[in-house]
Structure 1
Amino acid sequence: MIARMMGGDAQGFDPQEIARAAGLPSDPQAMMMMMQQVQAMFSTPSEGPVNWQLAHDHARRVAATDNDPTVSPVQRRSVDEALRLAEMWLDPVTDFPSTGHLGRAWSRAEWVEATMGTWRRLTEPVATSIAKALSETISNQLPEEMKSMMGMMGGPSSILQNIGGAMFGMQLGQAVGALSKDVVGSTDIGVPLSDEHMALLPSNVAAFGQGLDVPEQEVLLFLAVREAAHARLFTQVPWLTGHLLGTIERYARGIHIDMSKIEEAARDIDPTNPESMQAALSQGVFMPERTPEQDAALERLETVLALVEGWVDELTAEATANLPSSSALREMVRRRRATGGPAEHAFASLVGLELRPRRLREAASLWSLLTDERGIKGRDAIWEHPDLLPTAEDLDDPQGFSQRRKLVESSEADVDAALERLLSGGFEAKDTSDDPPEAAGDGSDAVAGSDGGSDGAGGSDDRSGDADDADGGGKPGNPSV
């Protein structure tokens, strides 16, 4: 079975050595019991492509390692006051009103509980595509005798899906649990992870400020302003969250597994050397190959994330201008968001997505320019529709974007004004009162005078009266158009 799955060459494969390297028992009875336990575990269907309960439980366990202290009443009050003050500081620098969301202080375990639903929404499209691709690929590689054996256990597809769901759930739980040790709030990755809440993690905020010559209260206030700014943007721009998730879904639909990479890696594995097996798996052989369409989707995602983080960065700098350490904290956050930490890299390797705004500085410069040119209201109006957002090319040329937007808005304003004038009857007939008179006695229609008379007889021009007399009956002409 291994030979057929890994390229057809079984030479050098010793089943006992493989079992020993994998830590499997040599006793057949113990092996049978283990297989029964594994079968019972994987035969339980999970909800969708991922075993979410397993992911949740493992994330909680990882978050609890390295000490996850509970949040004290003093910390909760401090976070609540910082977020309230942050809302007040933001009011003068943005046209978006306060959200009215409650401020929360979370432990890492509470962060996992509050955000797991969003993680499911973020990763399920990717997990579905990976599970489907992996299941189809491996099913096609299985020998017939193996398929027959799996048929008695529910079929190879269902078994592989359950195994894949459990594996992905464990990996996702590991990644989310690791992220809980790095994040300082509910919007650190540029996507709102919790609805109707602004939140900070006091233990992680304290860790963020370690090594900086900055008072802890200033660090808390600065991060509270960033959290509140994110909350305002995602609340007052209702299409933004769906736009980000839709981009991820478009990326996920094109995932496929390159089986040739797996076969190539298998040829280099020494079954008697567990380190060679780990080295092969660490080369990313299971990572899906990206298509041009996926690259385009990732570019759009990265651009929107940069615009979100750039807008928040600019507002935070304006709102915290009176904080002595504002500039230093701003630079530290910029570097942190642009490079990402180990936990973010682990998440990227899991789902093939890097939720990092590489072009944060360019986006912040663009929003600063738009503030100078349009004012606060005009800058925030850019978020009214996704079609109005700057593109990656616009980040290269902020001045050009501003000029292009002015031309488009000028054209739109002209069309709107003309349409409004048309609907209100503002387009009047041409005034021909000063034109040379037509032959009055031939019964032709009179032209409306300058007073706007439309029947050709009621105008103030004397010629109209003469024409009526000459006509014999003062019969009105047809309305002019």
Structure 2
Amino acid sequence: MNLFDGVQAITNASGTGPIDWDAAAEAATAATDPGSLTLSAEEREAYAADVRAAREAVGTAAAVDVELPDSVRIFDRHHWIEANVGTFERVMGPVETRTDTIPGIARTLNTGTMAVTLGFLGRNVLGQYDPVLLAEDPHELYFVHPNIVAVADELGVPLARFRRWIAFHEVTHAAEFGAAPWLPEYLESRLEGAVANLADGTLDQEAFRDLDAAMTAVEGYAELLMDEAFDRPYADLRDALDRRRQNRGPIADAIGRLLGLGLKRRQYERGKAFFEAVAAERGIEGAGAVWEAPTNLPTGDELDTPTEWLDRVDP
């Protein structure tokens, strides 16, 4: 980890766009310890075994075929940054194409902000499932091994149990996107619309509302599937992670708020409450009707009043 190299990369940011993406990635990796990626053959197989078990259990619970990549990718923190900087760049594409030449000082500040963002996430992301969403590859399933090891140790929980919990959670997302082939395009269109309007200095509130409601449904349904599919209690793991987030220090807390990580927790809770109410009335298969078409996604009001969604959407 070399902070000097990171600062130098940011101060040397160049180009005509608002962010020098190569410099942001270089600075983020320079300021981030990659962590150890030394795994035995047995440890690598353990990741794959957890994913296979999750695919079978989640597929049975959701009554859908769970499509996954042929291989599981195990990353260190630098790998995660390198894999995701392109996605960040594509998300910001509409802003960059609508923005005139940016003064050097603004580009430096923007590049520094993005480097901090990538570094923070690279040190905190545990696992990730990427469907066809602003990406060139069909989908990716990967785990940031050094983060999983560090957090399991910090929480005082067995690594094998914690790793398996992360695997199940990511596979629940795979099940959702497998059940809703239209979902990646839907999310992409709302995301690009929201970001594009920012370039004009306006906020597309409808696009943000649609995106928030959809992501709340994604996170809530994943929690419902976890309750059905995971083969052991896990409430203590969720509670321990929440306590860790609450005690991570003022700087990390401020960055987390800026990145909307508090919103993500709200989406978990709000979405889970919605799907628990729906499943109580129609069972888990009835709750899966949300993925049949974009029009079946709950609105913001329906998330808070599930009976409205139940009255609108036929089983």
How do 1:184-199 residues align onto structure 2 when only pairs under 5 Å count?
184-187=126-129, 195-199=138-142
How do 1:366-385 residues align onto structure 2 when only pairs under 5 Å count?
366-385=274-293
Question: 1:208 aligns to what?
Answer: 151
The one of 211, 214, 219 equivalent to 1:309 is 219
Q: Which has the higher contact order (CA 8 A, sep 6+)?
A: 2
Per the TM alignment, residue 405 of structure 1 is displaced from its structure 2 partner at its CA by 2.0
For 1:249 and 1:354, the matched residues in 2 are separated by 22
Give the aligned residue type for 2:23: L
For 2:86 and 2:153, the matched residues in 1 are separated by 31
**Secondary structure at the counterpart of residue 255 of structure 1:** helix
For 2:115 and 2:28, the matched residues in 1 are separated by 4
Residues 312/334 of structure 1: CA separation in 2 closer, same or farther (3 Å cut): farther
Per the TM alignment, residue 208 of structure 1 is displaced from its structure 2 partner at its CA by 2.5
For 2:254 and 2:96, the matched residues in 1 are separated by 17
Residues 256/123 of structure 1: CA separation in 2 closer, same or farther (3 Å cut): closer
**Secondary structure at the counterpart of residue 124 of structure 2:** coil
The one of 41, 45, 63 equivalent to 2:15 is 45
Residues 206/200 of structure 1: CA separation in 2 closer, same or farther (3 Å cut): same
1:123 equivalenced with 2:92 (yes/no): yes
The one of 94, 105, 112 equivalent to 2:62 is 94
The one of 50, 53, 71 equivalent to 1:82 is 50
Identify unmatched segments of 5+ residues in structure 2.
1-10
Question: 2:3 aligns to what?
Answer: none
Q: Is the 8 A contact 1:310 1:361 kept in 2?
A: yes
For 1:106 and 1:405, the matched residues in 2 are separated by 41
Per the TM alignment, residue 184 of structure 1 is displaced from its structure 2 partner at its CA by 0.2
Question: 1:57 aligns to what?
Answer: 26
Residues 302/59 of structure 1: CA separation in 2 closer, same or farther (3 Å cut): same
How do 1:329-478 residues align onto structure 2 when only pairs under 5 Å count?
329-332=237-240, 345-346=254-255, 349=258, 356-406=264-314
Residues 195/112 of structure 1: CA separation in 2 closer, same or farther (3 Å cut): farther
Per the TM alignment, residue 310 of structure 1 is displaced from its structure 2 partner at its CA by 0.6
Give the aligned residue type for 2:255: A
The one of 197, 202, 222 equivalent to 1:254 is 197
For 1:353 and 1:186, the matched residues in 2 are separated by 15
Residues 126/302 of structure 1: CA separation in 2 closer, same or farther (3 Å cut): farther
Give the aligned residue type for 1:105: I
Give the aligned residue type for 1:93: A
Per the TM alignment, residue 298 of structure 1 is displaced from its structure 2 partner at its CA by 2.6
Q: Deviations over 1:29-86 (max 9, x none)?
A: xxxxxxxxx8xx66x635x54212112212221333xx62224234322222221221
Q: Is the 8 A contact 1:83 1:224 kept in 2?
A: yes
Residues 192/45 of structure 1: CA separation in 2 closer, same or farther (3 Å cut): closer
**Secondary structure at the counterpart of residue 266 of structure 2:** coil
The one of 196, 221, 229 equivalent to 1:319 is 229
**Secondary structure at the counterpart of residue 141 of structure 2:** strand
For 1:227 and 1:382, the matched residues in 2 are separated by 19
Residues 96/121 of structure 1: CA separation in 2 closer, same or farther (3 Å cut): farther
Give the aligned residue type for 2:268: L
Question: 1:170 aligns to what?
Answer: 112
Per the TM alignment, residue 185 of structure 1 is displaced from its structure 2 partner at its CA by 0.9
**Secondary structure at the counterpart of residue 198 of structure 2:** coil
For 1:337 and 1:99, the matched residues in 2 are separated by 31
Q: Deviations over 1:156-206 (max 9, x none)?
A: x6462x554443233212211111111101249xx8987522111222112
Per the TM alignment, residue 312 of structure 1 is displaced from its structure 2 partner at its CA by 0.7
For 1:246 and 1:354, the matched residues in 2 are separated by 24
Residues 128/55 of structure 1: CA separation in 2 closer, same or farther (3 Å cut): farther
Give the aligned residue type for 1:45: G
For 2:193 and 2:254, the matched residues in 1 are separated by 21
Per the TM alignment, residue 90 of structure 1 is displaced from its structure 2 partner at its CA by 1.1
For 2:267 and 2:85, the matched residues in 1 are separated by 28
Residues 215/354 of structure 1: CA separation in 2 closer, same or farther (3 Å cut): closer
**Secondary structure at the counterpart of residue 70 of structure 1:** coil
Identify unmatched segments of 5+ residues in structure 1.
1-37, 133-156, 258-287, 410-481
Q: Is the 8 A contact 1:206 1:216 kept in 2?
A: yes
The one of 241, 248, 256 equivalent to 2:184 is 241
For 1:306 and 1:85, the matched residues in 2 are separated by 26
Q: Is the 8 A contact 1:303 1:357 kept in 2?
A: no
Q: Is the 8 A contact 2:51 2:167 kept in 1?
A: yes
For 1:97 and 1:316, the matched residues in 2 are separated by 16
Q: Is the 8 A contact 1:58 1:173 kept in 2?
A: yes
The one of 161, 167, 171 equivalent to 1:228 is 171
Per the TM alignment, residue 386 of structure 1 is displaced from its structure 2 partner at its CA by 1.7
For 1:212 and 1:353, the matched residues in 2 are separated by 19
Q: Deviations over 1:382-406 (max 9, x none)?
A: 2122221111111221123212324
**Secondary structure at the counterpart of residue 96 of structure 1:** coil
* Cα-Cα RMSD: 3.5
Residues 301/233 of structure 1: CA separation in 2 closer, same or farther (3 Å cut): same
The one of 98, 106, 109 equivalent to 2:75 is 106
Q: TM-score, normalised by structure 2?
A: 0.79
